[in-house]
Structure 1
Amino acid sequence: MSPHSKDPSSGKRRPGAEDRKCSPVVLNDTTLRDGEQAPGVAFTAAEKVAIARALARAGVTEIEAGTPAMGHDEIAAIRAIVEAELPLTTIAWCRMRMEDVDAAIAAGVSTVNVSVPVSDVQIAAKLRGGRATALDMIARVVGYARSKGLDVAVGGEDSSRADVSFLIEVIAAAKAAGARRFRVADTLSVLDPDSSYALMSALRKATDLELEFHGHDDLGLATANTLAAIKGGATHASVTVIGLGERAGNAPLEEVAVALTQLHGRETGIVLTELGNVAAVVAAAAVRAIPLNKAIVGDHIFTHESGIHVDGLLKDRRTYQSLDPMLLGRSHRFVIGKHSGLAAIIASLSNLHLQASPEEQRSILARVREYAIANKGPVTNETLVAIWQDVRHRAVGACA
């Protein structure tokens, strides 16, 4: 099929591969739904609204705000987000049940994601039926939601273990019932980038619906799989702040947003300088510390100790910089420790307006390394000043 061919079922031009390479990618943040399903995480209504506000400031245009079927308190929290009138679409996650759709309507949302098992093992265990049961549920519930004026996305639970030919049937049924999007969920994290690309490519060839990829991170591949799925034709990606979510979590918003920009030149609308702030808001509400080495938002991602790296960066930032920290509102930071070299010592002393001879600089470096090993950490400016004073004092004493 040519890049500008028509979908025979609609007569409309179906976007081709060249169109998709340049089109924006929509990041649908599900921190308030899947993220909150992380063990032990529970957001208050006020925290949910605060997180939604932070996401809006970060340029997120879609959020999955919760599961209305949980009851009155969840409905009230979702409604509070809707009533905040933020510049984003608030989506409710529902099971493929009419009563769940009714709960979403009570929450005041304009869009629902109605989820249905699509792998044979989950259909048999959870629906107590066969494939026809799943297709019938889609026709009834999606049709019902559309009759109530809602935009509908159909979530294919366990899509990555489903028969691809049946998955194409499911997508066709969703479209026939009025859905605008289908979510391909790697629920159990069984995909790798190659298989993510292949699956999404196969589905894209079969439909012009919006396709969203929802990756879990059990094997540490959620970001890579999401990027591959987008390359294969996904128009939307499901993400969470700092990868919060069930088990090992989901594809992190910050990683996907920056990687799409940095590696593929794709627009997401995300305000990259706000990623640190939204991560801090979510981490505080979740009572989860952000690892120091966490990609994009960790404190140490632009922090350098190695003598070779520091020396190179001092001479030309391009030697050890591929991601410009200024894109994130950050800057490089040098710390003094066991792996520091003379260049770092000289630069640090200069920043502190401290003079030292070449021999004193070498003595200070030796003392710095001793301190770092003994204390299992970097050397602070205060400690460096104290070492400098001691070395200078000894030098003066030796000359007396």
Structure 2
Amino acid sequence: MQDIETLKQQNMNLSDKIYIFDTTLRDGEQTPGVALTVDEKIQIATKLNNLGVDKIEVGFPASSQGEIESAKQIKALDLNSTLVGLARSLKRDIDAVLDADLGYVHTFVGTSPLHRDYKLKMSKTEIIDTAVSGIEYAKDHGLTVEFSAEDGTRTERDFLFEVFNQAVSAGADVLDVPDTVGILTPILTHELITDIKDNFKTPISVHFHNDFGLATANTLTAIECGANQAHVTVNGLGERTGNCSLEELVMSLKSAYGVDLGLDTTRLYSLSNLVGRLTGVKMPVSKPIVGDNAFAHESGIHVHGILNNASTYEPMSPEMVGHSRRIVLGKHTGANAIKSKLKEYHIDLNSEQFDKVFAEIKSLGDSGKCVTDDDLIAIAITEISSARETPIVIKGLSISMGANVSPTATVKLEIDGVEKETASTGVGPVDAALNAISDLIHDTIDIDLEEYNLEAITGGTDALAEVFVITSDDEGNKSTGRSTNQDIVMASILAVLDSMNKLLLIKRA
């Protein structure tokens, strides 16, 4: 890959310093269904500061007294990041920013025909007067001013430039170009930002939305054309489909462009997780950089390459963002992946044992199951411990039910060659049968049923029932069990016994 100086000399106009303006606490909180408490905002702001972002937009102070108070509390943390408050180009909004004790205001007014005619119902002259009066008022009160022409990408170019000219004359320190509804494409971004940079010496910022999934690509293009600053949010949160993703932009610049923003990128994954937990917006497993599958590999060909040199199938190391690599087992898994996993857990198998484990992993994968590490350990230990033998075997089952009477299950088990029988009641026949089993095996092994899933595989009254369970023992070992049977109760019992036998063999091994 070419170094940054070579790129600068060729077809890019990269700024010497690129600023990261994070608006998770403002635009990110505008994600539908998201509302952050003061304490939650403080946690996120602290993480952003530790990451090293240049500016943090802490909220929209004019929207509520709570926003003012949260901004004050974040200001009291004495963070290194510059704190910013959003304000419409109105005196009362700017006063709220001042009340919040902030020194930087991000003020805006809509400039597109749609905003002028339908939202603001103002003429072009009134728009300019509003923008200028807001900037002048803020500057008169000692604020650093970033001015946004809202919906700027749908504003007539000559009018956008007129607004920007007037904003600069009024004292704006930064000009922001919002792609408010995410309609830009990279080629249009290139043309627009290049034109703006050719006409204005004031630093240019961009605030791009992700309605067509192009926010990060458009932001990178803007930076290529000389934009000095990018607005981002953690996990790409924001109105509708969100904003340019902080982690995607930062790592693209670092890994693909060779631009070091001076951020501690090893904090990205933990920051993403924190924001996901606090907002309740869970990231898709395929989310770049921070998704669960960002550094997960299953294909045998890929895993073989990864085990020899991770760069064969990873554009960056997981450690760069505080993430971790996962080798996932399934139907695409190759022998190398399984051998690597077994070595990781210090499990030694001979060739015959390994072949059987490998075949079982493949079989489970073909049945649609993603095999966990716990499954692999259980299968391998079972194989080592003559797993074809089953310490616990069902020998008999009867269910009695009546109107207004709790179901009773009578279960007979053979445990290590000794037959035991008992009856138990439950809220249903499955519950009754599992209660009886629990009573019978109590002296042999203590288990907890952590997960129980029932699914009808086929239609009709004779549908096969597939039961999948996860159980754990008192030592923290976990194992899965699966069974398919036309009788739901029997399928449930066999699945639980399958899981129990694996745990028992692990415990004894």
- TM-score > 0.5 by shorter chain: yes
Q: CA deviation at 1:19?
A: 10
State the secondary structure of the residue aligned to 1:21: coil
Shift of the alpha carbon at 1:386?
2.7
> Which secondary structure state, in structure 1, belongs to the residue aligned with residue 193 of structure 2?
helix
Shift of 1:375: 6.0
Find out whether 1:42 has 2:42 as its counterpart.
Answer: no
Q: Which amino acid aligns with 1:220?
A: G
Give the unaligned 5+ runs of structure 2. 1-8, 390-509
Higher mean C-alpha deviation, range 283-292 or range 386-395: 386-395
In 2, the alpha carbon distance for the partners of 1:327 and 1:187 equals 32
- Percent of residue pairs bearing the same amino acid type: 36
Using the TM superposition, give the Cα deviation of residue 174 of structure 1 relative to its aligned residue in structure 2, in angstroms: 0.7
Q: Distance in 2 between matches of 1:33 and 1:39?
A: 12
Q: Does 1:383 align with 2:375?
A: yes
For residue 40 of structure 1, report the CA deviation from its aligned partner.
Answer: 0.7
Question: In 1, Cα distance between the equivalents of 2:382 and 2:254?
Answer: 49
Q: Counterparts of 1:279-294 in structure 2 under 5 Å?
A: 279-294=272-287
Query: Match of 1:5?
Result: none
How far off its partner does 1:176 sit? Answer: 0.2
1:9-50 superposed Cα distances (whole Å, 9 cap, x missing partner): xxxxxxx99995251210100001100000010011111111
What is the match of residue 107 of structure 1?
Answer: 100
Amino acid at match of 1:203: I
Change (3 A) 1:102 1:136: same
Of the three residues 80, 100, 119, the one matched with 2:112 is 119
SS in structure 1 of the partner of residue 14 of structure 2: helix
Runs of 5+ consecutive residues of structure 1 not aligned to the other structure: 1-15
Task: Work out the CA distance in 1 between the residues paired with 2:258 and 2:311.
Answer: 20
Q: Counterparts of 1:17 and 1:351 in 2: how far apart (Å)?
A: 47
Superposed, which structure 2 residues align to 1:131-170 within 5 Å?
A: 131-170=124-163
| Residue 338 of structure 1: aligned partner | 331
| Counterpart residue identity of residue 160, structure 2 | L
Give CA-to-partner distance per residue, 1:300-348, whole Å, 9 cap, x none.
2111111110011112223212212232233422122221011112222
**Counterparts in 2 of 1:160 and 1:19: CA distance versus 1, 3 Å:** closer
Q: 1:230 aligns with which of 223, 234, 238?
A: 223
Are the counterparts in 1 of residues 36 and 278 from structure 2 also a CA contact under 8 Å?
yes
Closer/same/farther in 2, CA of residues 339 and 209 from structure 1, 3 Å limit: same
- Matches for 1:298-309 after TM superposition, within 5 Å: 298-309=291-302
Equivalent pair of 1:305/1:337 in contact (CA under 8 Å): yes
Compute the displacement of 1:57 (Å): 0.5
Q: What is the aligned counterpart of 1:52 among 45, 48, 51?
A: 45
Superposed CA RMSD in Å reads 2.1
Question: What letter is aligned with 1:66?
Answer: G
Corresponding residue for residue 241 of structure 2: 248
Contact 1:307 1:342 in 2 (8 A): yes
Stretch moving more, 297-306 or 99-108: 297-306
State the number of aligned residues.
381
Structure 1: how far apart are the matches of 2:200 and 2:240?
Answer: 32
Q: 1:26 to 1:366 in 2, by over 3 A?
A: same
Normalised TM-score (structure 1): 0.90
Q: Quickly say closer, same or farther: Cα 1:113–1:395, change in 2 above 3 A.
A: closer
Give me the TM-score of the superposition, normalised by structure 2: 0.71
- Higher relative CO (Cα under 8 Å, sequence separation at least 6) belongs to 1
Q: Which residue of 2 aligns with 1:352?
A: 345
Would you tell me which structure has more helix in proportion to its own residues? 1
State how far apart, in whole Å, the 2-side matches of 1:67 and 1:298 are: 30
8 Å Cα contact 1:24/1:267 also seen in 2: no
Contact 1:157–1:184 under 8 Å retained in 2:
yes
Aligned to 2:176: 183
Secondary structure in 1 aligned to 2:175? strand
Tell me, what secondary structure is at the counterpart of 1:268? coil
Q: Give the Å deviation of 1:231.
A: 0.8
What one-letter code is carried by the residue in structure 2 that aligns with 1:386? A
C-alpha displacement of 1:53: 0.6
SS in structure 1 at match of 2:106: strand
Write out aligned runs for 1:361-376 (5 A). 361-374=354-367, 376=369
* Greater Rg over alpha carbons, structure: 2
Contact conserved, 1:342 with 1:362, CA < 8 A, in 2? no
Q: 1:395 to 1:143 in 2, by over 3 A?
A: closer
Picking from 199, 205, 209, the partner of 1:212 is: 205
Aligned to 1:83: 76
Q: 1:28 aligns with which of 7, 21, 24?
A: 21
| Equivalent residues of 2:175, 2:204 under 8 A apart | yes
Which has the larger strand fraction?
2
The structure-2 alpha-carbon separation of the partners of 1:28 and 1:315, relative to structure 1 and needing over 3 Å to count, comes to: same
Distance 1:122 1:155 in 2: 13
Residues of 1 paired with 2:64 and 2:336: CA distance? 61
Shift of 1:357: 3.5
Q: How far apart are the structure 2 equivalents of 1:140 and 1:347?
A: 66
Secondary structure of 1:156's match?
Answer: strand
